[in-house]
Amino acid sequence: MDFCTFLVTLLCIGFLLWVLVIMRLDSDVLTFSYSYFGKSLDRAFSRKVVWITGASSGIGEALAKELAKHNSKLVISARRIDELNRVKRECLELSKTLKDTDILVLPLDMTDYASHQPSFSKVLNHFGELDILVSNAARSQRANWEEIESEVDKELFDLNVFSLLALNRVVLKYFCRVGKGQLAVVSSVAGKIGLPFSASYVGSKFALHGYFACLRNEIASKNISIPITLICPGPVLTGNLKVAFTAKKGQELRQNVRPMSKRMSTERCAYLSLTGIANELEECWLTSFPYLQLTYLSHYQPFLAGRVWKWICSSGQAKNMRDGEESIKNGN
C-alpha cells in the first residue's frame, strides 16, 4: 500500500469514526466534551448574579432551577408573576444555601421597551451588580411560508429579536462600563438549518446569530472581555407549542407535546446550556439525531445539506421531522 492510499484510508476511517461518535451524542462534540472535562458549574456560577428572561416555564425555568443548585443569585423575569413566584419557591427548595433575598422576581413584558432600563435599575438596586444575562424569552411558530401574514412576521420579530436586542443593549452598556459580564442567548438549531414550516420563527433565530456575531467581533476590536454564547436547542419537551404563532395574527397553535416524545428534557437542556456558558463557548448545539447531524452538515457542507433537505421534503418527511409523532392536537 503506497502512502497516498494509506492516507486516504486513514481519512475514511477517521470520518466513519466521527460519524459514529456524533450519531450517539445529544450535543455538539465540544459542548459534550466540556460537560465532562470543562469548568465545574459550582465554580462557574456560585454567588454569580444571573438574570433569566422567559423564566416562568420551559427552558428558562429549568435554567433557574439548575443555577439554584449551584448557588447562583437569580433574577427571574416573565409576564406571569404567579408562575415566577412558583419557580422561586421551587428554586429555594432545591438550594441548600440561597435565601429569599437571593432570588428577585421581576415581572417583565419584553415588548415593553420602556420598561427595560427601569427593570435593570431594580436588578442593580437589589444586588448591586449583574454578572450574566440569559435571554430566553421567545415564542415558536407553525405555518406554511406563503400563508404567513406580514403582521405575524412583525409581531414575532418584535418579541424574538428586537425586544431581546433592546434589553441586551441596556445591559451591555453596563458591562462595558464595569469591564466585565457575559451574555447568553437562547437561539435554536432552527436558526442554523432552516427547519421548514416555521418561517418567521426560523428567520428570527437566524437574525440573532447575525446580530450577535457582529457584536462579538465589535467587542473583540475594543479588547473588552464580554463572552457571548448562542445556545441552540433542538426539540425540547416544553409547552411552547400551546402558544406558538401560526400564519394568522392573534391565533395560537394550541398544540400539546406527547409525554413520551423523544424531545430533550428541559433539565438536560439547562445543564448543557450552562456548560456552554460556564466554558464561554460561542455556540452550543443541543440536540440529537437527526438534527445534530443536519446542523453539522449545514454548517460545514451547505451544498450537501441542501440535497438532503430536498430529499426529506420531497419524500414527505419534513412535517414529520418538525413535529410528526412528537405532537398531538388538543391532547387527543
What residues are paired with 185 via a beta bridge? 135, 230
* Residue 272, H or E segment: helix 266-278
DSSP-derived letter for residue 114 is G
DSSP-based three-state secondary structure for 18:
helix
Provide the greatest CA pair distance for the chain: 72
DSSP-based three-state secondary structure for 279:
coil
Beta strands at 49-53 and 132-135: parallel, antiparallel or unpaired = parallel
Cα–Cα dist 298/133, whole Å: 29
Q: Which residue type does 159 have? A: L
Enter the C-alpha cell of residue 136.
Answer: 430566553
Beta strands at 103-105 and 132-135: parallel, antiparallel or unpaired = unpaired
Cα–Cα dist 203/192, whole Å: 10
- 201 classed as catalytic: yes
Helices first, then strands: H and E counts in the chain: 14, 9
- Which residue shows C-alpha cell 441542501? 306
Cα–Cα dist 203/174, whole Å: 29
**Chain mean position to CA 250:** 25
Please report the sign of the dihedral spanned by the C-alpha atoms of residue 244, residue 289, residue 212, residue 268: positive
Which is the catalytic residue, given 34, 113, 174, 201? 201
Q: Which residues are catalytic?
A: 201
